[in-house]
Structure 1
């Protein structure tokens, strides 16, 4: 890897870090601040979820704009929008009127989400272009890990700064540093190699071609449910921790660090496993099973009420959920990336950007559903009952993924059942990984 590629990766990871930081910055204190102004937890969930639904709407545009503007330019534009959005959100703390506070919160989060969508859609293809083909999984895992670090620290930094200096300071700090970093990257980021490699095939790829590739829809399906689980307690965990254990906003921020910490640690590990031949679909299934288990003990669910409510068990469960999310998110991303190659699409900046945009769409659509429904269930029932509801959704998701995966394995066995070299149970070893990926994606 050349020096300029290392510098590029530094800027890519920095943008991903602040994108994650921006996403989780308000989680530990916004619901509390909103309640003081008369805004319910359900409405707070809509504010948190606004970023996800906006990303869903912007994602297809980002994927296509990469072809016109270039990934580097779109990354810079997105970073500036995200930075300004955070700075503007800081001024909302001075608004006292309930309805105006809620409306401005939603509008500013929508504006910020446009920038966050552009950052995530461009960073994955840019990261892949900085390394050799066999190391793409690791490069994207590193970029994703920095997003996880930002998500992990965002809640903690937000809660601590809120306790120290009030509502506005967390947003001023995050937005100001991101803006300064972006201005530096304008001069230092070198994307010459990306332009040259993309120029080898300038054919404009359509969304129909991308969506027809193997593995795209099953990847999106798993992402939506995992994204739903990730944000299920985004607006309800802070009130639950405050009421049940008496935690402050800063302490709640430390609890919100748990999933980000495990997500950051295990994302590169899953990337290494996949690069060494572990099937992306298996990683997705394992990740979703881990998420399901974590929700059993997070409250815990009413059926396990004999365990009682323990802060350490809640924190441990949230951390375990981050582990499962790492496997699901990265497994789905790499499954979808490989699917475009198996579908015959060119290996260009545009195609990688469109796939990462679809990946982001799945995550954010699920996150919006989770933040909205999770906070509504909490308002009408309890935190423990809301986690049981999410367990049911995850069980449905795992059932579908397992059914699809088993049917694909059967298809592989039947396809090669005339091969007498070894028993059918182990016959998958006689075919290439590319052939297995193609069949498993169909």
Structure 2
């Protein structure tokens, strides 16, 4: 995430001052990231289900190195678009494979907590990236931030090739498969569940996507992500024009947008898993967004803008963190583990669609109306969909929260959570 975050405070100013492009073109450039992710996600999700998780992961890191070097040495606008697209491909691989690994290992009732921890770790990289990019750009020029990012990614690739072992992941996954098989044997007296599991092996990606409840969840993911992505190209321009902010201040604003994720992602995951339930947690996040997003442009002081953006970030992360767990429970309620690559691909497509639509709509509305109207329209969309989400899942929202039940693995069969997460998920690319 350091590498992805470094470009955020740099590109809007470069597009405006060097290439003399409008906010709309800048939004399209940001959206190319999501275009690359959307197109590559189904391919690498299905591929990782067939050949394993590690090889696609390494391909993603190589793609990130190549795209970052393209940014560094680009001399024309079209190369920036290609580089941003390639960044999206690398992001799709790391997220799809990383989330599939987690789904391979952990039961759905724990996914909120685990994914919250991963998102919190990811936020560290996202938090560090924009300030590094802004400070390096301000003091050393355009090229140095990208060379630093490429070097960090190359170091990560080296560590994974030389030092990272798959044994802890394999032990953890095998333990989960044994528990699922044991539960199936004990609770499937008439063989119906085994037949259901066998029938589900051939379930296509598109059949999953067009299930009504799955579609509602995917749109919710898209809205949460578009809330972040709409601000990425618009808030730097707003800060420059309204407060005459430097690239360092803009970098700190991006840090403010990501900092709450370090705290709220693990917290909202744990709240969803253990206390108030996944659906209620999502609903709370949506309500926070609706009542804060429109007011970014209504404050008169810079410090007030920082506070509003931080609260918006809390709402968006609370809304988004439990969604992967809910999506998994909706598609694979019996934890058969047959489609984890496809499920995470579906999540990532919805995620990337938000990052594709958000910058285009945000910059287009800002270009033709104002930054204020961009925020108001997004808040209205979330408000409308909050009602849709509430009506669709009303029984789940008001259902009594069941205490978390965990089956204890036999001694020696399970690696620690920390060991598995450190070996399976990128939090600093």
TM-score by length of 2: 0.82
- Structure 2 residue 268 is matched with structure 1 residue 270: yes
Structure 1 CA distance for aligned equivalents of residues 160 and 232 of structure 2: 32
Of residues 345, 358, 373, the one that matches 1:357 is 345
CA contact (8 A) 2:36 2:87 kept: no
Q: 1:133 to 1:29 in 2, by over 3 A?
A: closer
In the alignment, which residue of structure 2 is the partner of 1:326? Answer: 317
Of residues 343, 347, 350, the one that matches 2:337 is 347
Within a 5 Å distance, the mapping from 1:15-26 to structure 2 comes to: 20-26=1-7
Of residues 366, 383, 394, the one that matches 2:371 is 383
Write the deviation string for residues 408-432 of structure 1: whole angstroms up to 9, x where unpaired.
35xx9xxxxxxxxxxxxx8x44989
Residue 184 of structure 1 and its aligned partner are, at CA, apart by 1.4
- Structure 2 residue 294 is matched with structure 1 residue 313: no
Residue 48 of structure 1 and its aligned partner are, at CA, apart by 0.7
Within a 5 Å distance, the mapping from 1:220-369 to structure 2 comes to: 220-300=218-298, 308-342=299-333, 344=334, 346-348=336-338, 351-369=339-357
Write the deviation string for residues 188-238 of structure 1: whole angstroms up to 9, x where unpaired.
222245457478899565314544778522210211111111111221211
CA contact (8 A) 1:75 1:118 kept: yes
Structure 1 CA distance for aligned equivalents of residues 330 and 113 of structure 2: 18
Residue 247 of structure 1 and its aligned partner are, at CA, apart by 0.8
Q: 1:70 to 1:204 in 2, by over 3 A?
A: farther
CA contact (8 A) 2:277 2:401 kept: no
Structure 1 CA distance for aligned equivalents of residues 342 and 161 of structure 2: 23
Write the deviation string for residues 108-131 of structure 1: whole angstroms up to 9, x where unpaired.
111121111100111123245566
Structure 1 CA distance for aligned equivalents of residues 403 and 320 of structure 2: 25
- Structure 2 residue 391 is matched with structure 1 residue 400: no
Of residues 139, 142, 154, the one that matches 1:179 is 154
CA contact (8 A) 1:151 1:260 kept: yes
In the alignment, which residue of structure 1 is the partner of 2:42? Answer: 60
CA contact (8 A) 1:63 1:357 kept: yes
Q: 1:283 to 1:35 in 2, by over 3 A?
A: same
Query: Any stretches of 5+ residues in structure 1 without a counterpart?
Result: 1-19, 96-100, 301-307, 413-425, 435-442
Write the deviation string for residues 289-348 of structure 1: whole angstroms up to 9, x where unpaired.
112222122112xxxxxxx52212211111111111211221111101222331x56225
Q: 1:220 to 1:187 in 2, by over 3 A?
A: same
CA contact (8 A) 2:8 2:232 kept: yes
Q: 1:133 to 1:370 in 2, by over 3 A?
A: closer
Greater relative CO, 1 or 2 (CA 8 Å, sep 6+): 2
Q: Give the secondary structure class of the aligned counterpart of 1:374.
A: helix
Number of matched pairs: 381
TM-score by length of 1: 0.79
Write the deviation string for residues 365-410 of structure 1: whole angstroms up to 9, x where unpaired.
012111001001111122122211222222112121122233x35x
In the alignment, which residue of structure 2 is the partner of 1:98? Answer: none
In the alignment, which residue of structure 1 is the partner of 2:126? Answer: 151
Q: 1:44 to 1:212 in 2, by over 3 A?
A: closer
